[in-house]
Amino acid sequence: MKLTIVVTVYNERSTILKAIEEAKSLDIEKQIIVVDNCSTDGTRELLRGLNDSSITIVYQSRNYGYGESVITGMNLAQGEYLYVHNSDLEYDPRCVYEMVELSDKEGLDAIFGSRLLTRQGESRLKILKERPFYLGSFITTFLTDIFYHKNFSDIIGSRFYRTDVLRKINPQARGIGFDFEVVSKLCKYGYRIKELAVSYSPRTKGKKIKAHDIIPAVWVMFKIKFTREDPRLKKNN
């Protein structure tokens, strides 16, 4: 199996079916796993109404958090690569074609789908005036670049991993800190990462990420950076 697509969902009744159809439409050998994080808005009823043997649906018994949804999908994944497809439709999953090709060609362990790669020459203040919610990305990307001597443009975007690598670094954060733990471990332990510009269509209503979510994100980044290295997590081990 080439690719596992993990569709994460929590209270996305209006978009979940389209998100699944987007994943199904990808012309690639794939496994689709939908992880519902205990939705209460009717999303579960829609999913239960599907009669589709091509997808696996997991119903969490309570709201464990976004990270737990990805970890659940990771544990069931059969694909060489894993792509996280959030059901809010902000990212076009067709970027996986280029991600798979680039990873195969260069032996990459992860690709970050960047919203800002094509805007690196622009003023950060200008971008923030246009989209204030980018502040979290600027802060966490800056910390990643400083901590690990990188030059990333946006570590908060779409995510594509080599599945065995994601399992090896053994992410533990079950909530909002998950992505930042994974980024930090990939950088700290020497894994090969590249950025790829991706299409991004932010929704203006119903965004679940809040300003205070920067606190657990930064906390886990400092925790990974300043704790003793675990040699088992290094790339060549």
Digit-coded pLDDT (tens) for 6-63: 999 999 999 999 999 999 999 999 999 999 999 999 999 999 999 899 999 999 999 9
In the chain, what is the greatest distance between 2 CA atoms, to the nearest angstrom? 49
What is the CATH number that goes with domain 3-233? 3.90.550.10
Domain ranges of the chain: 3-233
Quickly state the pLDDT bin for 95 (edges 50, 70, 90): very high
Contacts of 38 (CB under 8 A, 6+ apart): 10, 59, 60, 61, 62, 63, 64
Mean pLDDT taken over the chain: 94
Q: How many CA atoms lie within 13 A of 90 on its CB side?
A: 20
* Whether pTM exceeds 0.75: yes
